[in-house]
Structure 1
Amino acid sequence: MDFELSKELTALKKEVRAFAEEKIRPMADQLDKEARFPRELFAEMGKRGYLGLPFSEEYGGKGMGTLAYMTAAEEIARVSLGVALSYVATISIGTEPIARYGSPEQKEKFLRPLAEGRELAAFGLTEKTAGSDAKGIEMTAEKVGDDYILNGTKQWITNANYASIITVAAITGYKPSGEKIISAIIVPMDTAGITVTSPYDKMGARSSDTGEITFKNVRVPKENLLGQETDGLKQLLNVLNGGRISIAAISVGLAQDAFDKALRHSGERVQFDGPIRQFESVQFKLADMLTETEAARLLVQRASLLKDSGETYIKEAAMAKVFASETATKNANRAMQILGGTGYMRPAQVERLIRDAKILEIGEGTSEIQRLVIARQLFKEEGENK
């Protein structure tokens, strides 16, 4: 088994790293301070093809696959988790539903401008009553003639103020048993009746735009339905499985940045007549940081390769997500401990890593949900193999 990236992916990694260091890192602290979404950076990433890495060339993408996309996501997260979060949101959960389940007409109309990097996308599942419990949604889509009329509110929507389209989960009816029929519908954000709040004032990932979207008698044509009405919940949950790999990838990026900062400081900071890396307590922290970061990266790569091969990757995506996100949080805290008072000050950027990291254990399914997914998939596979 070859654990090295191909020449093509190595070149991509080098290119994205250079872009991130030159264009994103110098403004990352200011973006965090101002809680500003950097539209200009996304325009540049679009021109460079980064927004279309995993999507088919037939519809304007680069056709490079999941691993290429995760490689780029990690490099962006090394310099700004906020920018990376919006980056993976537009691709993994904003664009992926259309790429995966859209008709040829839907792909030409909606996927192409996204894959070509001209527009951004959002994903609308979460509501006041629906988070970990996806079936708790209350948003409705009533079919009237050739249209759907949407009413409801979606919360915690990444790219809410900048997306051109959003794929929402809505109730289109009920089964005889009383169970909700949940459908996935593509909604252009310039449709009459849509109201978006100002960005939330968040603890971390502050340069990632996150808001609330209200739909009041929003009319969209029935042609915007993804697949069949009864397909929606399954479609969106499948999309979330892929989204978990992307959260794992940006978790690795943050974990790597924390390690790099700690390693550098441990060689520069002198105490008791020598660099602090001479002390076993510091060495142990650095060893754990590196080991867990490398392990998380390999979990991301395995899940990515399984996804690209068409094999089941539900368990592997959840494993990557829970391990990488918790590694990011641990590494940020370890870096703070190694930097000490220096790390507590904003210029060192470590306090930003601590604030940024926490959302990684919450979004796209909490750590608790990931462990449930892993266990249930494990038991399912055990039964299939008997």
Structure 2
Amino acid sequence: MLPHRSVYDEEHLLFRETARRFAQKEIAPHFDGWEHAGIVDRSYWTKGAEAGLLCPQVPEDFGGAGGDFRLNAIVIEELWYAGFAGPAADYSVHSDVCCGYLLKYGTRAQKEKWLPRMISGEAICAIAMTEPGTGSDLQGIRTRADRTVDGYRITGQKTFISNGQHCDLIIMVTRTDATAGSRGMSLILVEADRPGFRRGRNLHKLGHLSADTSELFFDGVDVPAENLLGSEGGAMAALMSELPQERLTIALQSMASAQRAYDISRDYVRERKVFGKAVADMQNTRFVLADLKTELAVGWAFIDQCLAQHMTNQLSTYDASMAKLWVTEMHGRVVDKCLQMFGGYGFMREYEICRLYADARVQRIYGGTSEIMRELISRDL
């Protein structure tokens, strides 16, 4: 089970129970079907809204619960610990990433228009950064937004976009000045019903099978000037200010999933018999479990330290990068050793550990690869 930690209070315990019940009632019965289909049902979003799980950090002025990011963290932990990485990742992009940009950089009119609809599940949000030739190097983006009389005309292509099939609103990272380098990039809101926008294929992935991940195309999409999010040329600064929360989010995901892998593996080896005795009675198994339990304890302590810092706006990009690097790498080590304890059954998709293993791999890639994290951390040596 997930440990109870001092970073949370009694109010958070009640909210955790809500998230836990939601996972078992609204995700578990449908999960296999969603994994096979490669996408969740749209009803998943309205059910999450009814349970209060979408964007719980939004102030009451905009129809939110007025909580802090710890409520988001609880949703992340519970859905990932339940083993539902795909559906959980969909919520995370919407609530933990996209919502932050609107809260911090949106105008009053933008907030009033979109935040209530994001909370209710009426509007699903995606953020479009990555392009076919551009991954972690955001300065290499080629999608452009040319000025028009009334606003901008957007032309370009994005890929690996979470919520791409369901999204109603896209936060676009575009180039508004081809000569200004990182200062020539802007964030622009694009509604999915605008002419010239089209969705590409839903990409087939190693893991996170039920999280729709898509190609998006923008063929001269006209948007009004009021769709600019923040200041023109301010995209890179905005991205840098929000990335610590995104990286903490990914670290929280990996912590909960690693804990799940450990717990089901510990229970399995207690029941599994080899040479007439439980696998858990063998010294090697006990030593492996001891190592994994220790790594998890260290990870939770570091996560809680970062979460506490984030609550007081003191989480630096370097600490967030260290959390993302260490926890996701630890996650990979844990699921690998756990799968080994299942033997040949661990390689079978019908066993949960197989899915957890596949779902873990992308954690070291998205939100900035482990190599990029090391590069960032090295700047603060």
Q: 1:347 is paired with a residue of what secondary structure?
A: coil
Indicate conservation of the 8 Å contact 1:121/1:164, yes or no.
Answer: yes
Tell me, which stretches of 5 or more residues in structure 2 are unaligned?
none
How far, CA to CA, are the matches of 1:308 and 1:123 in structure 2? 24
Q: 1:346 is paired with a residue of what secondary structure?
A: coil
Shift of 1:337: 0.9
Query: Partner of 1:318 in structure 2?
Result: 321
The residue identity in structure 1 corresponding to 2:186 is S
Distance 1:25 1:297, change over 3 A: farther
1:127 aligned onto 2:131? yes
Shift of 1:93: 2.3
Distance 1:146 1:31, change over 3 A: same
Query: Partner of 1:144 in structure 2?
Result: 148
Distance 1:242 1:268, change over 3 A: same
How far, CA to CA, are the matches of 1:178 and 1:135 in structure 2? 7
How far, CA to CA, are the matches of 2:96 and 2:90 in structure 1? 10
Q: 1:64 is paired with a residue of what secondary structure?
A: coil
Distance 1:30 1:340, change over 3 A: farther
Indicate conservation of the 8 Å contact 1:50/1:117, yes or no.
Answer: no
1:112 aligned onto 2:134? no
Query: Partner of 1:271 in structure 2?
Result: 274
TM-score, normalising length: structure 1: 0.92
Q: Deviations over 1:272-304 (max 9, x none)?
A: 332211112111221222222233233333222
Q: 1:51 is paired with a residue of what secondary structure?
A: coil
1:65 aligned onto 2:68? yes
Out of 243, 246, 261, which is 2:246 matched to? 243
Q: 1:89 is paired with a residue of what secondary structure?
A: helix
TM-score, normalising length: structure 2: 0.94
Identity across the alignment (%): 29
Count matched residues.
376
Indicate conservation of the 8 Å contact 1:52/1:117, yes or no.
Answer: no
Q: What does residue range 159-170 of structure 1 map to in structure 2 within 5 Å? A: 159-170=163-174
Shift of 1:266: 1.3
How far, CA to CA, are the matches of 1:124 and 1:53 in structure 2? 23
Structure 1 residue ranges (4+ consecutive) displaced by more than 6 angstroms after TM superposition: none
Indicate conservation of the 8 Å contact 1:160/1:213, yes or no.
Answer: yes
Q: 2:360 is paired with a residue of what secondary structure?
A: helix
Q: What does residue range 46-57 of structure 1 map to in structure 2 within 5 Å? A: 46-57=49-60
Distance 1:369 1:173, change over 3 A: same
Q: 2:134 is paired with a residue of what secondary structure?
A: coil
Out of 202, 210, 215, which is 1:212 matched to? 215
The residue identity in structure 2 corresponding to 1:146 is D
Query: Partner of 1:76 in structure 2?
Result: 79
Q: 2:176 is paired with a residue of what secondary structure?
A: strand
Which one is further off, 80-89 or 61-70?
A: 61-70
Alignment root-mean-square deviation, CA:
1.8
How far, CA to CA, are the matches of 1:250 and 1:229 in structure 2? 33
Tell me, which stretches of 5 or more residues in structure 1 are unaligned?
380-386
Query: Partner of 1:100 in structure 2?
Result: 104
How far, CA to CA, are the matches of 1:100 and 1:77 in structure 2? 27
Shift of 1:178: 6.3
Shift of 1:42: 2.1
Q: Deviations over 1:178-208 (max 9, x none)?
A: 6660001111111110010121011110100
The residue identity in structure 1 corresponding to 2:119 is A
